[in-house]
A = this chain, B = another copy of it.
Amino acid sequence: MSMRRDQLRWNGWGRLGESTGLSPAREQWLRTELGRLLQQGFTPSPAPVALEQIQLAPCKLKPESQNALRAACGDNGVSTSSLERVTHGLGRSLPDLLRLRRGDVPHAPDAVVYPASEGAVASVLRIAADANLAVIPFGGGSSVVGGVEALMLRGQAGALCLDTTRLDALVRIDRENLTATFQAGIDGPALEAALRPHGLTLGHFPQSFEFSTLGGWIATRSSGQSSSGYGAIEDMLVSVRVMTPEGVIRTLSVPRSAAGPDLNGLVLGSEGTLGVIVEATLRVHDAPAVLEDRGMLFRSFADGVASVRDATREGVHVAVMRLSDAAETVLAQTLRRDPSRRFDPATAALALLARFGYGEGRTALVYAVEAESRRKASPALRRMFSIGRRHGGMPLGSSPGRAWRRDRFRTPYLRDWLLDQGIAVDTFETALSWGRLESGHDTVLRAMQRAAEIHAGAGLSMAHLSHSYPDGGCLYFTLLYPLDHANELLQWEAIKREVTEAIVAAGGTISHHHGVGVDHLPWLAREKGALGLAALRAARTALDPRGLMNPGKLL
């Protein structure tokens, strides 16, 4: 079991003992700055409840089911402890964290099982079918769309959380084909660690990298920060094995096939509703020896967008491109500033740059070229440099990129600290064609700001362009707002609804890489159409006629 849940925070992000790393002085300064940016005060949140205070519904499993599960998964592979039930009862979205902090876990599973083999997964599904239990596949549990809550269909006798993290083996590395086969419960760091001795990398680094699994990446159609270089999960997936209530689905390991519709495409994004992803073969890459991180400043978001679009279309070999809009650029600078220094050189430099037009609307691009040597990295660096210059970009050297890489998995810790202060952080993401991207950016930002002002009195809205394609890109929005402690969930729901409506109206998808879960379900039929959904539901019913698998989500 590569992921030790007892070493993780049960009501927040990440590992126990880790935090934002802010000094008390810096914390105080940040609070002041945020108050200034929000133009409104905020009240610290009540202290989170202790685990022991949480009242869970009693476990509904019959003794014979529990015994059968122990026979399949081993005595230490079945748990009904509060810690296990609570940590497997919610994901890591804003409303999930709000509920965990209040001790409100309405849909905890009755038990958590840790099958350690494909056979054990099959046994669990059989036991669940016999006892009429819902089964919720659970990898890292980092869903931010309510994808892992243990919902049940009416009439189901209970819910099992099937934690996949004991299925974490490297099955095989195939150097000749540049592919690797893993059991699907392996998490990001363990997967990369298994590839490293072979000089290989998968190149999949979602924000949740440390606390998410291969199976989860496939089930949610995940995309990582290096998608410009390594593609998204669908580009990496060669073949997959899925244990469904009706048996195994497995796809063939070939580079391409025209033998009917692609079954990988049915499994990608299935969110545990078809079955449990147990194994997958992935395209891997020679690990780069050189990571060249760079930053560039633009006078406007439009200039930065044009640069990213051109680089994508021209096929420049760049692994990462992340363009912050003006508001996010300001916040990032605020977060990095050291208030203990009276003279801040970055601030001074920016004041100088403002004279050349890089003023209030300036936006920062971080990009990275990964290659086997400095020499091999240089053509892409030169081309990025010249594309950026064409759109008025000002090179910032390597430090912004390095700072991004150093901190890139730390942002969620900040979210917990902000929650302590009484500030909610929610994120929204969509993909839009280039022609709609800038107006979509404006529309959604305005909707976020308006929703925050109506429901929270104030808000701080920003976005970045996080993934790009020849025909469009992904906008990732962040909204900070003061929590209404008496009404946190209704406040969240109202804001979520208004922002998602704006995304749909702008012509965007309801999710570029977070998935659907419970939170996006009300908008799914508008994206897929009733008939499209009916086709997917029918496929699901063929594999899971009784609706055991992750009910209430997606389909």
Contacts and interface: CB of A to CB of B under 8 A. Distances in A.
Interface string A530-546: 01101111111111000
B260 A536 contact: yes
A524 interface: yes
Interface in A397-442: 430-435
Interface stretch (A67-75, A78-86, A249-257): A249-257
Contact of A262 (B265, B317, B540): B265
B535 A258 contact: no
A529 B283 CA distance: 23
Contact of A511 (B174, B257, B527, B535): B257
A97 to B, nearest CB: 21
A259 B430 CA distance: 10
Q: Which of A271, A430, A435, A507 has the most CB of B within 10 A?
A: A435
A452 interface: no
B256 A223 contact: yes
Interface string A208-242: 00000000000011110000000010100010000
A266 interface: yes
Number of copies: 2
Interface residues of A, number: 87
A536 B232 CA distance: 24
Contacts of A357: none
A338 to B, nearest CB: 38
Contact of A531 (B246, B473, B555): B246
B515 A263 contact: no
B261 A536 contact: yes
Contact of A535 (B223, B254, B543): B543
A532 B249 contact: yes
A508 B254 contact: yes
Given A250-B529, A532-B249, A471 B179 contact: yes
A274 B532 CA distance: 11
A101 interface: no
Q: Which 10 A-B pairs have the closest CB atoms?
A: A265-B265, A255-B472, A538-B542, A255-B469, A221-B258, A257-B509, A176-B435, A538-B538, A535-B539, A539-B539
